[in-house]
Amino acid sequence: MPERNLGAHDARRAFDAAGAFLRGHFVYTSGRHGADYLEKFRILEDPKATSELAAMIAQEFLALRPELVAGPTTGGIILAYEVARQLAVNAVYVERGDAGGRVLRRGFEIPPGTRVLVVDDVVTTGGSVAETVACITNAGGVVIGIGVLADRTAGRSATDVPFFACLTVDFPSYPPDSCPQCAAGIPVAAPRGSGKKVPA
């Protein structure tokens, strides 16, 4: 059974306490610029916060009777394991394929008709979630829901199955030629542990 469940306010407090909200001037992988960034690994490095947020997801989908939890590499591995542990089911993860998309490797198999809950850390464009859903479906699983730690699209990411986010935020982004931070001369920064660009 899921462990202690947080409310939405507590979820925001957990992200704040972990230092996951960053302010500055960021260039996202889409090429757009913004002043806000959500560093998911500040949450995932904290077992207590991860467990409590995973409990929100597990509780949300408990009634749908998931039989397996699946997540994409990299952050989705940690979350899939913890949500699956709380639901007392197995977890698998999907990796990037050589020809694009996501694939099952390492001997992972999904029996046809298995009810699968897909989880991910942060939804930005929704691409990794969509690829994970496609992989699970192609393998014969039935995706019954999608749960994420945070939804950066402010609810604009459309899905065909029930969707739940522990935290929903809306981070405005701009083309470089109309970026307020560029206009103000604020240097571009990169969060700790990232490359030169951050996901968007």
Give residue 57's pLDDT: 96
Looking at residues 117-129, what average pLDDT do you find?
87
Residue 164 φ then ψ, to 5°: -140, 135
Looking at residues 70-80, what average pLDDT do you find?
91
Report long-range pairs for 137-140 (Cβ below 8 Å, ≥24 apart).
Answer: 139/104, 139/109, 139/110, 140/110, 140/111, 140/112, 140/113, 140/114
- Whole-model pTM: value is 0.82
Look at residue 181 and tell me whether its pLDDT is greater than 90.
Answer: yes
Which domains are assigned to the chain?
A: 8-183 (3.40.50.2020)
Look at residue 193 and tell me whether its pLDDT is greater than 60.
Answer: no
